[in-house]
Chains A and B, each alone.
Chain A
Amino acid sequence: MNKKQCTAAAKLIEILKNQGVECIFGLPGGNAIPIFDALAQSDMKLVLTRHEQGATHMADGYARSSGKPGVVLVTSGPGATNTLTGVMTAMMDSVPMVVLCGQQLTTNLGLDTFQEADVSGMSYPIVKHSFLVKDPEELPSIVNQAFHIASTGRPGPVIIDLPKNVTSAYIDEDTSGEFSLPGYTIRKEGSPDAIKEAAAMISKAEKPVLMVGHGAVISGASSEIKAIVEKMQIPVCNTLLGKGCFPESHELNLGMPGMHGTAYANMALCESDLIVSIGARWDDRIAGSPSDFLPQAKKIHIDIDPVEINKTVQVDCAIVGDARSVLDSLYGYLEKGNTQRWVKLIKRLKREYPLKYKKEGKLRAQHVIEEMSRLTGGEAIVTTDVGQHQMWAAQFFKTESSRNFLSSGGAGTMGFGFPAAIGAQMANPGKTVVAVVGDGGFQMTLPELSTAVNEKLPIKILLINNNYLGMVRQWQHMFYENRLSGVDLVGNPDFMKLATAYGMKGFRVKRSADVRKVLSAALEYNDGPCIIDAEVEKYDNVFPMVPSGAGLDKMLLTMPRKKLDKPKGGT
């Protein structure tokens, strides 16, 4: 008796549903048609994007805001290569994503046939893992493996290359999706000895600081962190990707340290005697020069990925494990020390060195962002693009809970912010989503305006329009005697007219006095996306700034009069 059969593509969609996938972001092409055909015969939601890079950032924003893997579906060759920037972006920030790529027939691989590209080969350095499915019978197992790998341990992107003859082949409906991955193990619980050692170090410390990173967000360690802070009275700073895991309005929160961090976070780290990284990888944006990063402080590192331990900064105590599980066990061993004087100093630093900008004169980006933060009261999901506006958003958008601030940190991918907001809004239909973008980066993925309009997503695109690739202009101004090279965005479109062209709402704000009125109006508009074109001061620079490669004690609070040396670190 013949068993019931279906195409491998139909099976693929069924497995996606079983994996809890609600929507797929993508764009079709010849070698993906069998999959799109199966999609059409299912009730799976497809968000049709205008470019494959956009699809990846949408899936990324979906994943970062929900904790569930984002799914992308594209065709072979150029469709697949267009996803690579987004895949790398997800890899750098440990974002769970599954990218399904159509592929030429298995018999055509390696022969330079039409739209054939060695996508799995290209992907190796920028994925957590990748698969090429050659046997349709293996498809169910491989898809399940991909979701398991993408979403467990340290999450990351997984690419599955799906040849057209594989997806159109018929397989038994009950083909097994089981798998074993002997080379893939996750250490969830930390070593008890290391945890006790860390507890003793924390209990003894007089000037400890917690540094909360993306790992803490991913593991859902918010309440464990809060419990420790409350019991031990330890101040907390958060990395760009750790924003919100511990509420930024808390009196012991120091905001973000590092290159454009708050002065008080950097000063506190310079004074501290113990830094506890909770899922933060001592990125060079914070550590500057990792080989001599704050030698006065002992360091504890909690990370689920053993590769991160001692990768750049040498630590005194390492705990490999899931942040939440580790903190949960750690709590029991902590003995309340005396941090009263330390906390007093922290509060004084916060009072004496607040983030500052001029409210008079030309409209300031900081003003617009701070007002948006105030009006949304910690309830909005904020995505950012990359540049000055990103750093101002990090400084001025007070984030109160995990998964509410989404930014491309490790990769710094311009073009990320707006499509990521689409993904975040898809995952969180009821929430206010604000995309803080620059006039440069926004133009890299703005064709997705069609996508947002089609889906009627009420995203507020807060465009910090300074007519410059501002962050690069700032570096040229500060370190290259203001020789501006390739940063003037002459020929920017009229963004109000652009909004009209896409059939969406546009707002414009030019004067400080109008900020609240215009932002309130935009927040009240919910019939679809809107652009808020904020024409801000062109020549403003982000401060504080620690020149790249320098120690945190070299922080500049304002533009110094004397000439600055070229920074030693990378970009």
Chain B
Amino acid sequence: MSDSQKKHNISLFVENKPGVTIRIALVFARRGYNIESFVGSPTQDPNYSRINIEATGDSRTLHLMLEQLNRLVDVIHAREYSDEDVIQKELALIKVRCDNETRTEILQIASAFKCRNVDISDTTMTFQVTGKSSKIDAVRKMLDKFGVLEVVRTGKVLIARGEEETSW
């Protein structure tokens, strides 16, 4: 994988104010860095939000952008995490085509991945998958041959281990 294709997890601790999202997104857009996923929600203190961003691009630009994010007045902290540093989870809903012949096999695959069956119809089944993003990718790949009709993913959320505070 070339450096410019690398995926990065960026975690931000920001003031919960209008316009924060745009200011952050502009830092990425200006240098042509693509955002893959963007998840934000208020923290335990409603004055602040945590935002997790997954983005693809080269490491040098990423370093520059982290500094640019930290420079934003409403951003208190921005940092990068590698997958090992943190607890990292994502939730996905996957709708797959099925018929009487394929249903059993699909259910077997789903149970092997501990997916929850959240909807079933004559022609479709929908599963809820949680876990690492790589696990969701794997489920999706296994289900592909049956005909994946829709995938909706929340994007990654991160939390630091133990006493460490996230995005600090």
Are A and B physically bound partners?
Answer: yes
CA distance A177 to B73 in the complex (A): 18
CA distance A310 to B66 in the complex (A): 13
Tell me whether A307 and B73 are in contact in the complex, defined as CB-CB below 8 angstroms, given that A121-B22, A124-B26, A125-B30 are known contacts: no
A124 with B76: CB separation less than 8 A: no
In the complex, B75 has a CB within 8 A of chain A: yes
CB distance from A355 to the nearest CB of B (A): 36
Q: Give every chain A residue within 8 A of B18 (Cβ-Cβ).
A: 132
Of A14-22, A66-74, A179-187, A539-547, the one touching chain B: A179-187
B26 with A182: CB separation less than 8 A: no
In the complex, A337 has a CB within 8 A of chain B: no
In the complex, A283 has a CB within 8 A of chain B: no
Nearest B residue to A145 via CB reads: B73
Which of A121, A128, A132, A309 is close to B73, meaning CB atoms less than 8 Å apart? Answer: A128
In the complex, B14 has a CB within 8 A of chain A: yes
CB distance from B42 to the nearest CB of A (A): 15
A305 with B76: CB separation less than 8 A: no
Contact with B along A181-199 (1 / 0, CB 8 A): 1111000000000000000
In the complex, B144 has a CB within 8 A of chain A: no
In the complex, B148 has a CB within 8 A of chain A: no
Nearest A residue to B15 via CB reads: A183
Task: Give the total of B residues in contact with A, Cβ under 8 Å.
Answer: 19
Tell me whether A305 and B22 are in contact in the complex, defined as CB-CB below 8 angstroms, given that A125-B30, A183-B14 are known contacts: no
B71 with A307: CB separation less than 8 A: yes
Contact with A along B71-87 (1 / 0, CB 8 A): 11111100000000000
B22 with A124: CB separation less than 8 A: yes
Spell out B's residues near A (CB within 8 Å): 14-15, 18-19, 22-23, 26, 30, 63-64, 67-68, 70-76
Contact with B along A494-538 (1 / 0, CB 8 A): 000000000000000000000000000000000000000000000
Tell me whether A311 and B64 are in contact in the complex, defined as CB-CB below 8 angstroms, given that A149-B73, A183-B76, A305-B71 are known contacts: yes
Nearest A residue to B72 via CB reads: A183
Contact with B along A116-133 (1 / 0, CB 8 A): 000011001100111010
CA distance A309 to B63 in the complex (A): 10
CA distance A128 to B18 in the complex (A): 16
In the complex, A567 has a CB within 8 A of chain B: no
Q: Give every chain A residue within 8 A of B76 (Cβ-Cβ).
A: 182-183
Nearest A residue to B47 via CB reads: A182
Q: Give every chain B residue within 8 A of A182 (Cβ-Cβ).
A: 15, 76
Q: Give every chain B residue within 8 A of A309 (Cβ-Cβ).
A: 67
- Given known contacts A121-B22, A305-B71, what 9 new A-B pairs fall within 8 Å (CB)? A124-B22, A124-B26, A128-B73, A182-B15, A182-B76, A183-B14, A306-B70, A309-B67, A310-B63
Q: Which of A129, A181, A182, A309 is the most central at the interface, judged by chain B CB atoms within 10 Å of its CB? A: A182
Which of A130, A132, A184, A307 is close to B64, meaning CB atoms less than 8 Å apart? Answer: A307
Q: Which of A149, A305, A307 is the most central at the interface, judged by chain B CB atoms within 10 Å of its CB? A: A307
Could you tell me which residues of chain A, from 222 to 274, have a CB within 8 Å of some CB in chain B? none
CA distance A130 to B73 in the complex (A): 9
Tell me whether A124 and B23 are in contact in the complex, defined as CB-CB below 8 angstroms, given that A183-B14, A306-B67, A307-B68 are known contacts: yes
CA distance A532 to B41 in the complex (A): 61
B19 with A183: CB separation less than 8 A: no
CA distance A124 to B23 in the complex (A): 6
Nearest A residue to B29 via CB reads: A125
Nearest B residue to A125 via CB reads: B26
Q: Give every chain B residue within 8 A of A305 (Cβ-Cβ).
A: 71
Nearest A residue to B75 via CB reads: A183
Q: Give every chain A residue within 8 A of B64 (Cβ-Cβ).
A: 307, 310-311
CA distance A125 to B26 in the complex (A): 7
Tell me whether A183 and B26 are in contact in the complex, defined as CB-CB below 8 angstroms, given that A120-B19, A124-B19, A132-B18 are known contacts: no
CA distance A183 to B26 in the complex (A): 18
Q: Give every chain B residue within 8 A of A128 (Cβ-Cβ).
A: 73
Q: Give every chain A residue within 8 A of B68 (Cβ-Cβ).
A: 307
A181 with B71: CB separation less than 8 A: no
CB distance from B149 to the nearest CB of A (A): 36
A183 with B22: CB separation less than 8 A: no
Q: Give every chain B residue within 8 A of A132 (Cβ-Cβ).
A: 18-19
